[in-house]
Structure 1
Amino acid sequence: MKRFFGFVKKEFLHIFRDVRTMIILFGIPVAQLLLFGTVITNEIKDAHIAIYDQSKDEVTREITAKLLSSGYFVLDQYLESTNDVEAIFKKGQVKEVLIFESNFAQTLEREGKANIQVIADASDPNMGKLLAGYTSGIINDYILKEMGELKLPMQIEPEVRMYYNESLESVHLFVPGIMAMILMLISAMMTSISITREKELGTMEILLVSPLRPVQIILGKVAPYLALSIINAAIILIIGHFAFGVPIHGSWILLMGESILFILMALCLGILISSIANSQMVAMFISMIGLMLPTILLSGFIFPIENMPMPLQVLSNLMPPRWFIVILKNIMLKGTGFLYVWKETVILIAMAVVFTAIAVRKFKVRLE
């Protein structure tokens, strides 16, 4: 065990002496977090909504039908009370809730004005803003086309409220996405490069004939990056929270625990990449092209998964950052506990186990 800790200490010293590695580990993540201030949005499609209709009259039914026939919205369920709004948002499927006031049609006919409350999930601020805008537009179109011939100046005023991100700060979206991307790339790429460097230089064989067992060598290579990635995660959370005002409504302990799980999964993926690649260049290429682009495009970080073609939606299920971003948004923005992210947690654990099993199998073949 003393030899193992000595080996780990040697790896730490090797990392600290390499200026380029330190820049990659700490300089690039901070720069990305500070500079990544814009995101790309798409139009909405098949967004799940819930409706609490206190009136249930002809006008509310017509407005509901017009919303659902637009192709932008899918009715998830009718609510029985306003107390159900918080719970249904925390499940993550429903992105918007519409609440019709009681006696809607009568109020509209008598006073020329009636109220609809639009409550949007603004953990994704761009999506929340789009949903509210589309909903208001469809309702206004209904007024002009269906009720324009009436003499009274009919008016329906949607009351818009954004849940979890009332100010629609885009930073609330990109901090979880940037955190997932950085931890994925840094953990997987640096681990794979570290091990393939030993193979490329021919020093892996020297390490294997040392008193250390192969599993201790791999753990010794991974341990420094685990510690440094945890520090990276803490830095990102601190900068996001104190510099950009991103709230952390949930448990810090749960948040860090989930982050460590994701880092471990990424490290396992890095070991798997190193078992496939024979050189640092190949390992870096696989890490950058094979991980960065899918993380940006298929994780829901920038482009809503619901808007993607079905084959890409299926493929996105294989992207670990997709599940980690869901966990981050739930804990940081919605303040949910483990019961709301257990499924995503189990998926990340399963991915880590699969990556480790494949990597160990391949390493045994290569190192014997």
Structure 2
Amino acid sequence: MRFLFLIKKELLHFLRNKGLLVFVIYLFTGDIYIAANGIDLSLKNAKFYAVDYDMSFQSRELVSKMIKPWFDFKGYLINEKLADDFLISDKGVGVLVIPQDFSSGLKRGVFNIAIYLNGADASTGYLFAGYASDIMVDYYLENLPRKKKLAKVFTESRILYNENTLTKNFLGLSELFSVITLLVLILPASSIIREKDEGNIEMILISPLSLKRLVVAKLIAMSIVILLGSFIAVNVVLKMGLSVPVRGSIGLFLLLTLGYIFTTMGLSLLIASISENMLQVSQLAILFLLPILFLSGSWTPYESMPLIFQKMTYLSPLKYYLDAGYAVILKGLGFKFVAFDILMMFFMGLPLFVIGTYFLMKKL
């Protein structure tokens, strides 16, 4: 019973800390909503111009195929010098340069077009080039001379689990996982450091209450806070606010989250053992957070990383939590499909927890 009162005390301490309470509420609500809607990985309303030296029906027809919502045609330019000026002043993402013999060359099966891109925003420029190239290839194949007609291959993609390829589905969940990681690193460590700042450690040492019980109570209380925040984030922000389809079991997702909390909490105990104040807690939390995020695959696809970093991703507990979380929420898979990820999180978390507890007890 005394132990339950300890947990209640820690929860009340958390609720009375208005700044920390507002911070946690914002991370589980506003931060996730803004991150999901503030970034779009698809091409939208990309401004572009055209330099058309041919001014034929075919050249104008090609430009007319680049329509909204992907492209935003702003008009024709007189020459290529103006194209450079417009791109330098960031008035557009790209400029199409259509040669004078475009229509006549098209009749002979020749297709020459230049695309000038604004490389200041490399990702948007890459998307613009990809989208425009697809349109041009289709137009070329449609207008090939009859004697040069090629067999056109039609491909039909079937997208599962995110049929409309909405980036908010991925980004909302990804931000939730990042928020959970940040809070698991900060909350337990800050709760322990608060006792040191207020001088309560000495009082605990001469009281019947053991330090180990106090630490465990703090860990349980902060885990409850994170689990409650995760539950609200999934059901209110993701499901209701962002219309992300939650196909799997919320209970299984919370079980995954609990396993991830245990895995990462050892790092939080290690941070608490090193830190002397809250400033050091926040600095060390960022120091641990960035490698975990970079190596998880949430920011950079696994295949795009150098080989050495691809191997190092298996050392990031967030990688397993991401894989299992996406599988449960978006795919609706059951326990047997994520059992391996849970097992890996446990095996990674156990030594971290033991090491963190050892150094913390030694420091206190």
When normalised by structure 2's length, the TM-score is 0.68
1:178-257 paired onto structure 2 within 5 Å: 178-238=175-235, 239-257=237-255
Question: For residue 60 of structure 1, what is the aligned residue in structure 2?
Answer: none
Shift in alpha-carbon separation, 1:173–1:148, aligned structure 2, 3 A: farther
Question: For residue 4 of structure 2, what is the aligned residue in structure 1?
Answer: 5
2:165 equivalent to 1:168:
yes
Residues 57-82 of structure 1 show CA distances to partners (whole Å, capped at 9, x for unaligned) of xxxxxxxxxxxxxxxxxxxxxxxxxx
Name structure 2 gaps, 5 residues minimum.
43-122
Question: For residue 273 of structure 1, what is the aligned residue in structure 2?
Answer: 271
1:303-342 paired onto structure 2 within 5 Å: 303-342=300-339
Residues 14-51 of structure 1 show CA distances to partners (whole Å, capped at 9, x for unaligned) of 21111011012212331111111244869xxxxxxxxx
Equivalents in 2 of 1:159, 1:288: separation in Å? 44
Equivalents in 2 of 1:306, 1:148: separation in Å? 40
Q: CA deviation at 1:9?
A: 2.1
Query: Are the aligned partners of 1:39 and 1:302 in contact in 2 as well (CA < 8 Å)?
Result: no
Equivalents in 2 of 1:327, 1:198: separation in Å? 35
Structure 1 window deviating more from structure 2 (169-178 vs 265-274): it is 265-274
Residues 260-305 of structure 1 show CA distances to partners (whole Å, capped at 9, x for unaligned) of 21123233331222122222211111112321x3344332222212
Residues 83-116 of structure 1 show CA distances to partners (whole Å, capped at 9, x for unaligned) of xxxxxxxxxxxxxxxxxxxxxxxxxxxxxxxxxx
Equivalents in 1 of 2:145, 2:188: separation in Å? 66
Equivalents in 1 of 2:157, 2:349: separation in Å? 42
Could you tell me which amino acid in structure 2 is paired with residue 27 of structure 1? Y
Which of 248, 258, 261 does residue 260 from structure 1 map onto?
A: 258
Equivalents in 2 of 1:188, 1:201: separation in Å? 21
When normalised by structure 1's length, the TM-score is 0.67
Name structure 1 gaps, 5 residues minimum.
43-125
3-state SS of paired residue (2:332)? coil
Alignment coverage as a number of residue pairs:
273
Could you tell me which amino acid in structure 2 is paired with residue 253 of structure 1? G
Query: Are the aligned partners of 2:10 and 2:221 in contact in 1 as well (CA < 8 Å)?
Result: yes
**Structure ID, larger Rg:** 2
Query: Are the aligned partners of 1:173 and 1:301 in contact in 2 as well (CA < 8 Å)?
Result: no
Query: Are the aligned partners of 1:40 and 1:303 in contact in 2 as well (CA < 8 Å)?
Result: no
Shift in alpha-carbon separation, 1:149–1:213, aligned structure 2, 3 A: farther
Equivalents in 2 of 1:153, 1:358: separation in Å? 66
Percent identity, aligned pairs only?
25
Question: For residue 102 of structure 2, what is the aligned residue in structure 1?
Answer: none
